[in-house]
Amino acid sequence: MLRELLTPEIRELVEQKDWRTLKDALSPWPPQDIVELLESFEDESKIIIFRLLPRDLAAEVFSELDAGAQKNLLHQMSNEHIKEIFLEMSPDDRTDVFEELPSGATKEFLSLLPPGERKEAMELLGYPEYSVGRLMTPDYVAVRSSWTVEESLDHVRKYGKDAETVDILYVVDEKWHLLDDIPLGTLILSSPEAKVESIMDREFLSVHASHDQEEAVRLMKKYNLIVLPVVDSQNILLGVVTVDDVIDVYEEEVTEDIHKGASVIPFEINYSTISAFSLFRKRIVWLLFLAIAGFLSGNVISSFQETLGEVIILAFFVPVLLGTGGNTGTQSATLIIRALVTGDLTPKKWLSVIRKEILVGVLLGLFLGLVLYAWSFAWKGSGRVSLIIGISVAIIAVWANLVGSILPIILRKMKLDPAIVSSPLISTITDVSGLLIYFTVAMLML
């Protein structure tokens, strides 16, 4: 709200080119508010405002921008300014930027960094895409088990200012094997003469650097962690993942699943930044596939045209049957996909899922079948047709519920993202199979 009230005054300062006043006015602003402010200006004004920001604040603002806005700013900044921004950014945020840039630009910007930072960035970029190694930061505080509490606190005071967080300290041996994690509060409340090993419980959680980022999200969410140590195959401490990084990953994963659920190829930049042509490319692939798949429904209807010709009233109920099947399958798929994502369900439990969903499908089918039987009889007065409708709906509900629940599990078992079983895809599958069920029941009963 404060930003909205002050934006006209900021715009007036830009128009008057009163850069000194503008710089003083923006310095106290939170980075997130400055990002929103930049979005309301044209590119030329954006770069002017950004250049006025203090170096540390500019680095925070740059980290909050989406990938498209970051690229635009980098194109308009001098190498010296870029170097200053990158040096102020945390290693994990800097890695995120490098990941989004073309390889040529990444090499160019890496060359601007001092040898130490360049080596650090290259190591982070060496991990697989979307791995924990890309997400971690090597800025943490580690202590030795042989140190006293007082020595450890002196170490924190000396090196803590450069760490991502000092809430949790890590105990390592001479070869940097992770031995334990200790909250800073525990250290402060312990006797200064006590050895660190005397307050260790050797119970800690860690994540492997090559694991998928979703594993870090799962662990931190399950155990309510604010920071998670990252190790290699030999349990050597490499870095840490903090909760702010995990929140960003979680938001990206949820956004990606929502895009897939609507049959849209996921895109990593904001909707307000992406071009109309890019949106077209992201949407047309699935729409074209689903449109072609829709012809299967037409072929099924064509195959049963004699049955339809004899009892044309059957055609009146096609929309409600297809809608029921699609909605049932989508409900089931959504519940299973979410359970798989949160870890509540694993592919090993597929048999219990089938048993449960068959029972749910039978209950849904019987109830919907009775309701639609009564409704169709009241509407058209044909007992035979109403019976066909009731039986068909019951079978379709059981089948659609089973398809919607088992497909995501099969995809997860095949190491594929279950989110691609989107609502339109489920509807297309249940439409074709639902028509086959409906007309087969009708043909047998007529």
254 pLDDT band (50/70/90 cuts)? low
In the predicted model, is pLDDT for residue 229 greater than 90? yes
Q: Are 154 and 144 in contact (CB under 8 A)?
A: no
- Burial (CB < 10 A; 0-12, 13-18, 19+), residue 244, is middle
Q: Which one has a higher pLDDT value, 291 or 99?
A: 99
Average pLDDT over residues 156-171: 89
Q: Which domains does the chain have, with CATH numbers?
A: 2-126 (1.25.60.10), 142-246 (3.10.580.10), 276-445 (1.10.357.20)
**pLDDT tens per residue across span 392-425:** 999 999 999 898 888 888 888 887 777 665 667 7
**pLDDT tens per residue across span 83-94:** 888 888 888 788
Distance of alpha carbon 252 from alpha carbon 298, whole angstroms: 38
Report pLDDT for 351: 86
pLDDT, averaged across the chain: 80
Report pLDDT for 310: 55
**pLDDT tens per residue across span 283-298:** 666 666 666 666 666 6
Highest averaged pLDDT of the listed ranges 77-86, 105-114, 146-155, 375-384: 146-155
Task: Name the percent of the chain lying above pLDDT 90.
Answer: 17
Average pLDDT over residues 115-124: 75
Report pLDDT for 378: 85
65 pLDDT band (50/70/90 cuts)? confident
Q: What is the value of pTM for the model shown?
A: 0.53
Q: Are 182 and 199 in contact (CB under 8 A)?
A: yes
Tell me how far CA of residue 414 lies from CA of 93, 103, 259, 347, 372, in angstroms. Answer: 32, 31, 21, 10, 38
Q: Which residue has the tokens 């700013």?
A: 73
Report pLDDT for 267: 53
230 pLDDT band (50/70/90 cuts)? very high
In the predicted model, is pLDDT for residue 282 greater than 60? yes
Q: Are 172 and 178 in contact (CB under 8 A)?
A: yes
300 pLDDT band (50/70/90 cuts)? low
* DSSP-derived secondary structure letter, 204: -
What six digits make up the tokens of 94? 């800097």
Q: Which one has a higher pLDDT value, 109 or 142?
A: 142
| pLDDT-wise least confident of 113-127, 166-180, 271-285 | 271-285
Report pLDDT for 1: 43
SS3 144: strand
φ/ψ (deg, to 5) at 170: -115, 135
Distance of alpha carbon 25 from alpha carbon 366, whole angstroms: 67
Task: Name the percent of the chain lying above pLDDT 70.
Answer: 83
- Residues in the chain, total: 446
Residue 252 identity (one-letter amino acid): E
Distance of alpha carbon 13 from alpha carbon 17, whole angstroms: 6
Report pLDDT for 299: 66
